[in-house]
Amino acid sequence: MRAVIQRVLQASVQVDGETVASIGRGLLVLAGLHESDTVRDMEYIIGKLVGVRIFNDADGVMNLSVADTGGEILLVSQFTLYGDARSGKRPSYSTAMKPDTARDAFAAFIELCRARHEKTRAGIFGADMKVSLVNDGPVTILLDSGRAF
């Protein structure tokens, strides 16, 4: 599983012109599922999301997590995180989890995240989403459950 996490002052997701999810200060998470991902991969990513210390403490040092600050998390599914553009000009998404399987897996990911961090919202799987954010810093971190980076 891969995730791009961005520290935000606010973020929202719109589908068909309507806001379906929004948060204030916290993390916007773009999450992609690999064809071989399991609950263990999801739990690894969620542990990092909840625990990564990228929020400033009273001294201005990134020493606090989203859990420490009471911030929110907005999850957005994004299979394109597994796009492979090393050969040719059209990316291949062959290692991304197939949509039917990914729909259920992403729903499970949302529930696992909510169990660890109540203030979790999510976009709509498979929808044409318009994501807006105010990146804070900017601070952006890449995560991979296979520890590729």
Q: Which residues are catalytic?
A: 78-80
Residue 34: CB partners within 8 Å, gap ≥ 6? 1, 2, 41, 82, 95, 96, 97, 145, 146
Do the beta carbons of residue 15 and residue 44 sit within 8 Å? no
Which three-class secondary structure state does DSSP give residue 109? helix
Angle at 58 between CA 54 and CA 64, to 5 degrees: 25
Paired tokens of 17: 């012109």
Which three-class secondary structure state does DSSP give residue 57? coil
Distance of alpha carbon 123 from alpha carbon 58, whole angstroms: 32
Polymer length of the chain? 149
